[in-house]
């Protein structure tokens, strides 16, 4: 049995695993993503730490040493699959990541956009298996995206296709970390969910009283997972906040359906843990805003099978398949 390493670098966490040929995670670990004010070398150090810990864990578990490494990065990855051109939530700017890591990791390395990696995992093993045309939307710190056409990832001429999170949906709207205003991820992402919840709390809105109590009165503890947990426990404000995120998700998906006409939209990333609290409102908005609704086939909107693991599974698989 051959094995390979997959490492997924997001805005808040670096997760890694050693996987077998069927995409099963045999051992895993994770670290917090270094603050983006840190130099790129600090993020590189974290990746190497995760890799070295995975080797140790694999050895302890009697797992065959890995032969390749795939790294899924939350950023614009160039067509060479070696350079991170720009990462809104990290410190990379034209970062030669494969070259840098190659000096410290003595295995073949492939760098891939994290959403491309997530879609590949779902195509090979999960919710898009058997589908030829699919779109992946990853909701985490921001929004990532990927496109599959004819069973092939569409990377674009420069490798940067699928950055849907930076489509403008509200002219003159919220300032985005990419430098523009009104980007989709400012209205439908983990950051957007947390911003709205904390805004209500800081304004001393009575609507937020139960939500604040859920985190013991510490507004800084209003994170995406905590808000989702509160919603699942029936907190009305948390449910409303997720429904708003879901509404904007449906707006963007309807626009993408007009442009790309896929068979299925797969929603992954940490925020997708809200499941129908998020996807229910998204599907409702999508059905109302789809161009030509009632006269055309409508794509399905489903949750990623592998949830937050999709990025590392896909990165490992792409790293092995080249």
Task: Flag whether 109 is in a domain.
Answer: yes
Structure confidence at residue 37 (pLDDT): 58
Residue 79 inside a domain? The answer is: yes
Q: Residue 104: inside a domain, yes or no?
A: yes
This prediction's pTM: 0.90
Percent of the chain scoring above 70 in pLDDT: 98
Q: Residue-wise pLDDT tens for the chain (322 aa)? A: 789 999 999 877 899 999 999 999 999 999 988 876 556 788 899 999 999 999 999 999 999 999 999 999 988 999 999 999 988 777 789 999 999 999 999 999 999 999 999 999 999 999 999 999 999 999 988 999 999 999 999 999 999 999 999 999 999 999 998 899 999 999 999 999 999 999 999 998 999 899 989 888 888 999 999 999 999 999 999 999 999 999 999 999 999 999 999 999 999 988 999 999 999 999 999 999 999 998 999 999 999 999 889 999 999 999 888 6
Are 78 and 159 part of one and the same domain?
no
109 and 132: one domain? Answer: no
Phi, psi of 154 (to 5 degrees): -100, 110
Say yes or no: 131 and 102 in one domain. Answer: no
- Quick one: 137 and 13 in the same domain? no
Query: Strand pairing of 4-9 and 13-19?
Result: antiparallel
Contact by Cβ (8 Å): 23, 124: yes
Q: What is the pLDDT of residue 38?
A: 59
Position 229 in a domain: no
47, part of any domain:
yes
Same domain? For 132 and 76 the reply is: no
pLDDT at 36: 61
Compute CA 122 distance to the chain's CA centroid, rounded to the nearest angstrom.
13
Do 162 and 299 belong to one domain? yes
- Please report whether residue 151 resides in a domain: yes
Q: Domains in the chain: how many in total?
A: 2
Assigned domain for 260 exists: yes
Q: What's the pLDDT score for residue 74?
A: 85
In the prediction, which pLDDT does 12 show? 78
Same-domain status, 59 and 74: yes
pLDDT at 141: 86
The answer on 286 and 168 residing in a single domain is: yes
Residues 16 and 88 in one domain: yes
Same domain for 316 and 300: no
Does residue 87 form part of some domain? yes
Domain that holds residue 258: 127-188+239-304
Give the CATH number, domain containing residue 266. 3.30.420.40
Q: Is 294 in the same domain as 184?
A: yes
Order of strands, sheet of 143-149, starting from the edge strand that comes earlier in the sequence: 152-153, 143-149, 133-139, 264-268, 300-303
């Amino acid at each position: 049995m051959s094995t390979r390493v997959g490492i997924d670098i997001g805005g808040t966490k670096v997760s890694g695993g050693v996987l077998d040929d069927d995409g099963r995670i045999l051992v895993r670990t994770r670290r917090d993503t270094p603050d983006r004010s840190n130099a790129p070398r600090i993020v590189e150090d974290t990746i190497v730490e995760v890799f070295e810990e995975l080797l140790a864990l694999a050895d302890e578990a009697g797992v065959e040493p890995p032969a390749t490494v795939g790294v899924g990065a939350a950023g614009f990855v160039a067509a060479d699959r070696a350079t991170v051109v720009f990462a809104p939530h990290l410190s990379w700017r034209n970062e030669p990541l494969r070259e840098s890591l190659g000096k410290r990791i003595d295995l073949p390395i492939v760098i891939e956009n994290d959403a491309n990696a997530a879609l590949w995992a779902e195509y090979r093993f999960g919710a898009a298996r058997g589908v030829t045309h699919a779109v992946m939307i990853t909701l985490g710190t921001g929004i990532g995206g990927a496109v599959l056409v004819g069973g092939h990832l569409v990377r674009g001429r420069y490798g940067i296709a699928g950055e849907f999170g930076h489509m403008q949906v509200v002219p003159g709207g919220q300032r985005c970390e990419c430098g523009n205003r009104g980007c989709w991820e400012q209205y439908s992402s983990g950051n957007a969910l947390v911003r709205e919840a904390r805004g209500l709390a800081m304004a001393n809105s009575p609507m937020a009283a139960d939500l604040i109590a859920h985190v013991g009165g510490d507004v800084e503890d209003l994170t995406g997972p905590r808000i989702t947990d509160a919603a699942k426990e029936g907190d009305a404000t948390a449910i409303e906040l997720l429904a708003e995120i879901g509404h904007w998700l449906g707006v963007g998906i309807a626009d993408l359906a007009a442009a790309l006409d896929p068979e299925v939209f797969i929603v992954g990333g940490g925020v997708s843990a809200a499941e129908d609290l998020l996807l229910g409102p998204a599907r409702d908005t999508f059905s109302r805003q789809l161009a030509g609704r009632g006269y055309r086939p409508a794509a399905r909107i489903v949750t990623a099978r592998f949830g937050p693991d999709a990025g590392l599974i896909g990165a490992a698989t792409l790293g092995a398949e080249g």
